[in-house]
Structure formats: structure tokens, C-alpha cells
Chain A
Amino acid sequence: GEEVAQTPKHLVRGEGQKAKLYCAPIKGHSYVFWYQQVLKNEFKFLISFQNENVFDETGMPKERFSAKCLPNSPCSLEIQATKLEDSAVYFCASSRSYEQYFGPGTRLTVT
């Protein structure tokens, strides 16, 4: 497609539950990025992929966060045992070169 698609729009989880977010990049884009937006305007880089390979995972809290981009499937970001501090909007972006195109985001609320 011509837009980055993210599902679901909203996700509510009790503390300790698992959360799984999905991202379909723009067709033809080989790079996928995940960002976390907390406190309304602070963006944090989590992980990037080049096709199905992890390119840069320096931002991932590895003990609870994992991500995959498999061929012919949406990319996914999974949080095991969510914590209150994981409440944020998670954005996915895709790119072919320098500029990244963002999806509408998934708002995760951990209660």
C-alpha cells in the first residue's frame, strides 16, 4: 500500500499482560523502524529492520521487548509482561532511502 498501516489503534493491557502491535510498511520499502512516543512529545528509537533482518536494536529494552519482520507478514512489536511505564504511542515508520514515512501509531495503555 501507499501508507504505513498500524493495528490496533488502541490497546489496553493490565500490568503484566502481553501486548502485540503490528505494522505493514509501504510496499517496496525495505527499512522498518519502531519508535515510542511518551509524555506527548518525547520520541525514542527502539529498533530498525532491513527487510527481515534486525539492523539496529540499540534502543530496545531486550528483557521484555521483541520485534520481528517476516516475509509476507506484517512486522510486529511484542511486549511481554507490560509495565505502567510502557504506556505510550508506538509508531512504525518505513523508508526506501533517507525519509521515513510514519504510520498513525498504536496507543498502548497499561493499567
Chain B
Amino acid sequence: AQSVTQLDSHVSVSEGTPVLLRCNYSSSYSPSLFWYVQHPNKGLQLLLKYTSAATLVKGINGFEAEFKKSETSFHLTKPSAHMSDAAEYFCVVTLAGGTSYGKLTFGQGTILTVHP
């Protein structure tokens, strides 16, 4: 079984300040982890992925995330927020193989608000 918990339903930052969106996961096996972003009335865009290679993962638009197995965490960070980062972010887990291959389990989502 696998699950994802996003620790904050809303995060509000000022433009130019750092962003931290927190995610903890639970998985019986080696997981693959992703962060997706959803802008209003749009589909999901893949920001970055962890698939058992480097634990620090860099994604698009300056985002990065660090896989910490001991803490079962995969927090998303960005050094400096931009107004265009305002959106909803989803932490997602899937198993690496077996009959559940590819079946994504989503966190509850974190709405990021960026103030001028």
C-alpha cells in the first residue's frame, strides 16, 4: 500500500522569497515520487521526478526536491517565488513495478499563493 500526505493545504509567500511545500509518503516498496503543478482550469504538468537515482532532483522553473528515505519525505523547494508560480501542487507516489505499476496515488494538494 502507498499513501501521500501533503502537510499544508495552503502556503502563502511574497514574490522573491523561498517556497517550501512539504510532502511525506508511505510505501511498502521502493517508490517513485513526483511533483505536479495544476494551474486553474488546466491539466497537470510534471515538475520533477525521483526514480531512485540522485536524491536531490532538479525540475523545471527552478524547482527542486530532495528525497529523504529516513524521514520518508519529498519536500518541494524554490529559492525565489515568482507570481506565475501561484497554482496548486500535488505530490504523487507510485510503485516501481508489479501489477500496480504506474498507478499514481495523489496527495491532497497544496495551494500556493504568491503576493506581490
Contacts of A100 in B (CB 8 A): 46, 102, 104
Is B34 touching A99 in the complex (CB atoms < 8 A)?
A: yes
* Number of A-B residue pairs with CB-CB distance less than 8 Å in the complex they form: 56
A35 closest partner in B (C-beta) = B104
Contacts of B28 in A (CB 8 A): none
B110 closest partner in A (C-beta) = A41
Once A91-B44, A103-B43 are accepted as A-B contacts, the answer to whether A98 and B103 lie under 8 Å apart by CB is no
B32 closest partner in A (C-beta) = A98
One of B19-27, B65-73, B77-85, B93-101 contacting the partner: B93-101
The docked-state distance in angstroms from the alpha carbon of A37 to that of B45 is 15
The docked-state distance in angstroms from the alpha carbon of A43 to that of B90 is 10
Is A31 touching B104 in the complex (CB atoms < 8 A)?
A: no
Once A98-B32, A98-B49 are accepted as A-B contacts, the answer to whether A31 and B102 lie under 8 Å apart by CB is yes
Could you list some 23 contacts between A and B, CB below 8 A? A33-B102, A35-B104, A41-B108, A45-B104, A45-B105, A48-B103, A55-B102, A56-B99, A56-B100, A56-B101, A59-B103, A93-B44, A95-B102, A98-B32, A98-B49, A98-B51, A98-B94, A98-B96, A98-B102, A99-B34, A100-B104, A102-B43, A104-B43
Write the residues of chain A forming the contact surface with B, with a CB cutoff of 8 angstroms.
4, 31, 33, 35, 41-43, 45, 48, 55-56, 58-59, 91, 93, 95, 98-105
